[in-house]
Amino acid sequence: KRKGFIFDLDGVIVDTAKYHFLAWKNLANSLGFDFTETQNEQLKGVSRVESLKKILAWGETSVSEEKFQELMTLKNTEYLEFINKMDNSEILPDVPRVLDYLKDNNQGVSLGSASKNARIILEKVNILSKFEAIVDGNDVSKAKPDPEVFLNAATAINVKPEDCIVFEDSVAGVQAANAAHMISIGIGSQDVLHEADYIFNDFTEISTEFINKLINN
C-alpha cells in the first residue's frame, strides 16, 4: 500500500536545531537575559513568531511591533549565516537510506516543516529532489502543535491523514501529528518525546523491517 511519510526538517533531516538555539540564545543575551536548553525544547517545531513571543515572555521583556519585526530579522540573519556554511555532511545519519528505501518502494514522501528557510536548507544539503512535496512555514497560518502543516503535507501527496507517518524531533510536532491522527515517530529522547507512538534516538535505529511494518499496516 502507498502510505505517506512526512518528515520534519530541523532536527530530523539536518541538525539545524543547534543553529536555531544559538541564534535565539544570542538574541536573548543581547536583550540582557538567557534561557536554558530545557526551555529550548519548547521552541522546537514552533514558528519564528511564536518562538520570539515565548523568549520575550521568559525575559519578561515587551517590545513594540516594530522592534519585534527587527528582532526576528536579526535572528534570521544570524541563522542564515550558519545555514550558508552547510553542506551534505550535515544530513543526519541514515536519513538518505530511509528516504531512498521509501522512494524505491513507491511510498509518498513529503516535508512538513515550520521553517520558512526549508527550501534553502534542502538545496544546501542537496536532497530537495528526494521530496515529492514541500509544505513549510510559507504555506501555513497555524503553528505546530496545530495539525495544519501535516494535513497539507498529506494532501500534497494525495494520501489520507490516517495513512500518514510523521517523523518529528519536537514536542509541538509530535502533538501536531497526533492531532492529525497520523502515526507519530519521535526522533530524540524518550523523556522529551513520550507522547509519540514510537521513539528512536536517530534513523540508524529504524530498520527496514520496521518501515515494512508501517507500509503494510
Catalytic residues: 8, 10
Contacted entry of Mg ion, ligand BG6, none for residue 43, CB cut-off 5 to 8 Å set by kind: ligand BG6
- Select the binding partner of residue 178 from ligand BG6, Mg ion, none (C-beta < 5 to 8 A, by kind): none
Minimum CB distance to Mg ion, residue 135 (Å): 14
47 binds, among Mg ion, ligand BG6, none (CB under 5 to 8 A by kind): ligand BG6
Stretch touching Mg ion by CB under 5 A, among 1-9, 77-85, 88-96, 119-127: 1-9
Which of 9, 27, 98, 99 is close enough to bind ligand BG6 by CB under 6 A? 9
Nearest-CB residue for Mg ion: 11
Residues 84 to 113: which contact ligand BG6 by CB under 6 A?
113
3-state SS, one letter per residue, for 73-110: HHHHHHHHHHHHCCCHHHECCCHHHHHHHHHHCCCEEE
CB 48 within 8 A of CB 137: yes
Q: How many CA atoms lie within 13 A of 91 on its CB side?
A: 17
Is 20 a binder of ligand BG6 (CB under 6 A)? Answer: yes
Contact set for ligand BG6, span 53-72 (CB under 6 A): none
The three grid cell numbers given for residue 35, joined into one nine-digit string: 534561557
Of 26-34, 103-111, 136-144, 169-177, the window that binds Mg ion (rule: CB under 5 A) is: 169-177
Q: Which three cell numbers stand for residue 99?
A: 528516504
**From CA 101, how far away is CA 27, in angstroms rounded?**
40
What type of residue is 203?
A: F
Residues forming a β-bridge with 168: 186
Residue 148 interacts, among ligand BG6, Mg ion, none and using kind-specific CB cut-offs from 5 to 8 Å, with: none
Residue 178 binds Mg ion (CB under 5 A): no
Binding flags for ligand BG6, 25-54, as an x/- string (CB under 6 A): ------------------xxxxxx--x---
Residue among 8, 41, 136, 148 that touches Mg ion (CB under 5 A): 8
Binding-residue pattern over the window 65 to 84 for Mg ion, x denoting contact by CB under 5 A:
--------------------
Q: Residue 173: name the closest of 8, 13, 37 by CA.
A: 8
- Phi, psi at 7, each rounded to 5°: -105, 130
The strands making up 133-135's β-sheet, listed across from edge to edge, are: 133-135, 108-112, 4-7, 164-168, 183-187, 198-200
- On the 0-12 / 13-18 / 19+ scale of CB atoms within 10 A, 50 is middle
Could you list the residues that contact Mg ion (CB under 5 A)? Answer: 8, 10-11, 169-170
